[in-house]
Structure 1
């Protein structure tokens, strides 16, 4: 009964006692889900009532559906907290509760659902910390909880999820540093952390995650220089570091990025020469605007670099030849003479 224009209440569901799969998604049903739905078949594996006008709370009776593998209640009008009774669903692999009006914290008991592979809690009004117990869900592949009011730091246990592919926590109130332990996410492809309050340096450990294809750290409080290692993400297609407080030069390593379709470094405090390379021949001027003093890239209408910037590498080499090498040579001559002196005594 999915993707029709059916309407009315959901009382009829209770009569479908022998169903193993029940899907009434993308219709116009309304009303509440009474606890009596827990009287459905103990063999029910899929319960999908998404994209309707379901109101009320998540019914406690769902805990009786002990064989449930997939629960989808997203895009409704559900209110209240996430029912702790859901944690008794030990076989549950997919839990979609996004796009409702759920409030309160993510219960720490979520760590008991060790078979979960996908969690969708986005676009609700959830608050509080992300529970450290999330690290117990070792098979988790997707953690999707954007557009909420989650606060505090990202628990270190998140970085220990070996199979995590998608980490989607944008538009929350997360704060603190981005731990170097993020490099443990060997399989992650999508990291969306934009519009939070994360601060400190952007960890160079990100450069070790060669599986990343989409990285968005924009609209945070990151400062310091852009790590050279971010230019070594061989698979990255989208990288957004805009609207932070990053300073220094754009790493030369960025010029070697092969697959990037979008790179946004705007609204920072970057300066110096814009590197040459494929990625900078494709970006628009809006991807680099509102920085301190970028130069070069005439196609993007930036001013030419001053001579002191263009010749900085040459000046470094000249200083090496003029000062450092003669000093080293003098030391070597002194040591040779001293050695002869000692041997002649």
Structure 2
């Protein structure tokens, strides 16, 4: 090769390197410009985090909350969670084309979500929860076909449940809690391979109505369902019993009716069952006893009637149960002796029912108990001396029953008791001197008067 050809080749190579470097500089300035545009839309930065850290004199890849790719040229993660920032989200943010993770949650961003955000098709995590954002969730949400986590709870959004979400087959977590959504859920929310990877469905505290779709039972990977505080009506779908991976089922405070389906007993991984505040009917669902993993059972104010199963806690039933809340129902019969075998219980609320008979001595076996509420029943007989075994008790409410006899001296063993209500009973005799040992006591009610211990 002659000298001229060599020089020409070197010139071409130099030009290519220069163009490549210029291209990289353009990319760097592009993503840096977008971040500075976001900073310019911040009207309040109480920690001065962006003010002092997001400065053009340093590489934007080192800025707080910013992660870049291995080349240090493109932003792949923007996480400014919980910085107390106030302002709006600029449309330029949609030009962060390599963004995989975007978390702006727990700030005070307001205004609409810019439509350009739905063009970031590489996004796997989008968390805009706990801001003051408004407007509906547009159909363009379906463009994010790599999305795994969508969280927009705690905003002032409006409109119906975004049907286009069903197209995002990669979705694992959907959190639209307290997002001012209204209308009905799509009937095919989980059919036709929709949302088959979904593990969390969080739609509590909206204005959703209509039936809970039967197809929900086809999302068999679900581990948590939160549908509380809506206006759902109709029956609890039997098909929920197909979701055998389910750990949490919250259906509280809706307008659900009918009985609790026996298929609920198929959920052998369930840890929390919360269905209080509905218009259910029928007896306590015996099938619940099969769920040995259950830790919390909340069927408060659920219109249940009849008796509790005699073996509610025997034969290894409900041995992991920590919370039992069955207040404001129409349950009757004795409080069962077997309840004392649920020794992991920390809270029992059986108030406002029609329970009769005695307070069982066996309750004294539940030494982990912190709250015991048996108010507003028809209990009779004495307060058992075994109550003194409950050294972890903070609240003991036995008012508005027909209890009689003296207060047992063992009550003085309850050194952690904070609130004691024995009013509206037929108790007699002297106050046991041992009560002087109850040094944590703040509230003591013997009649309809409140006495505060300072």
1:34 CA displacement:
4.3
Q: 1:3 — aligned with what?
A: 130
CA 1:92–1:281 in 2, change beyond 3 Å: closer, same or farther?
A: closer
Q: 1:77 — aligned with what?
A: 207
Name the structure where helix makes up a greater proportion of residues: 1
1:282 CA displacement:
6.7
Alignment of 1:263-274 (within 5 A): 263-274=396-407
Q: SS where residue 206 of structure 1 aligns?
A: helix
Q: 1:216 — aligned with what?
A: 349
Greater CA drift, 271-280 or 258-267: 271-280
Deviations for 1:203-256, whole angstroms, at most 9, x for unmatched residues?
A: 010001110000010100000111100122111011011100000111111122
Preserved contact between residue 39 and residue 61 of structure 1 (Cα < 8 Å): no
CA 1:233–1:258 in 2, change beyond 3 Å: closer, same or farther?
A: same
Q: 1:37 — aligned with what?
A: 165
Deviations for 1:115-159, whole angstroms, at most 9, x for unmatched residues?
A: 101000001111110011100010000001111111111121101
Q: Paired residues, what number? A: 302
Cα distance in structure 1, aligned partners of 2:414 and 2:400:
17
Q: 1:54 aligns with which of 178, 181, 187?
A: 181
Cα distance in structure 1, aligned partners of 2:445 and 2:132:
53
CA 1:92–1:302 in 2, change beyond 3 Å: closer, same or farther?
A: closer
Cα distance in structure 2, aligned partners of 1:283 and 1:44:
47
Q: 1:289 aligns with which of 399, 417, 423?
A: 423
Preserved contact between residue 273 and residue 296 of structure 1 (Cα < 8 Å): yes
Q: 1:25 — aligned with what?
A: 153
Q: 1:191 aligns with which of 324, 334, 338?
A: 324
Alignment of 1:141-290 (within 5 A): 141-183=271-313, 184-277=317-410, 278=412, 287-290=421-424
Greater CA drift, 146-155 or 188-197: 146-155
Pick the structure with greater CA Rg: 2
Alignment of 1:322-333 (within 5 A): none
What is the TM-score of this pair, normalised by structure 1? 0.83
1:36 CA displacement:
3.0
1:111 CA displacement:
0.8
1:14 CA displacement:
2.4
Select the structure with the greater relative contact order (CA < 8 A; seq sep ≥ 6): 1
Cα distance in structure 2, aligned partners of 1:152 and 1:297:
42
Pairwise CA RMSD of aligned residues? 1.9
Cα distance in structure 2, aligned partners of 1:47 and 1:34:
11
CA 1:259–1:92 in 2, change beyond 3 Å: closer, same or farther?
A: same
Cα distance in structure 1, aligned partners of 2:174 and 2:281:
31
Cα distance in structure 2, aligned partners of 1:284 and 1:117:
33
Cα distance in structure 1, aligned partners of 2:361 and 2:331:
20
Name stretches of at least 5 consecutive residues in structure 2 with no aligned partner.
Answer: 1-127, 436-443, 448-454
